[in-house]
Amino acid sequence: MSRSEARNSAPPRDTLVNIRVAGQDRDLIDRAARLRGKTRSEFMLEAARGAAHDALLDQTVFLMGKAEFGKFRAMLDEAPQHNEGLRDLMRRKSPWDK
């Protein structure tokens, strides 16, 4: 797929995001973008999207071997222990519910 075809099939970009960077950072980004055959915006969006996916996956995907998974399952199957700190946390309102 060519770049123009990719642009035509992508959802419309209707939100503006601005950032201020040091000139040397902009120059570095521009050099890298040219090497990849992308505009600065395309390069930055791709990099930011990748970093965002990684950050979210770091919080939701756990990779482990068979032995570690067995230990993990055993911990989940254990009866819960009394934890007053957790009980207190669960009694509090969430920041977004205040």
Does the pLDDT at position 47 exceed 90? yes
Q: Taking residues 48-63, what's their average pLDDT?
A: 89
* Distance separating alpha carbons of residues 70 and 96, to the nearest angstrom: 36
Q: Taking residues 82-94, what's their average pLDDT?
A: 90
CA dihedral 82, 87, 89, 93 (to 10 degrees): 170
Task: Report pLDDT for 77.
Answer: 95
Q: How far is CA 79 from the centre of its chain?
A: 33
* Distance separating alpha carbons of residues 68 and 74, to the nearest angstrom: 10
* Distance separating alpha carbons of residues 78 and 96, to the nearest angstrom: 32
Q: Where do the structural domains in the chain lie, given as residue ranges?
A: 3-93
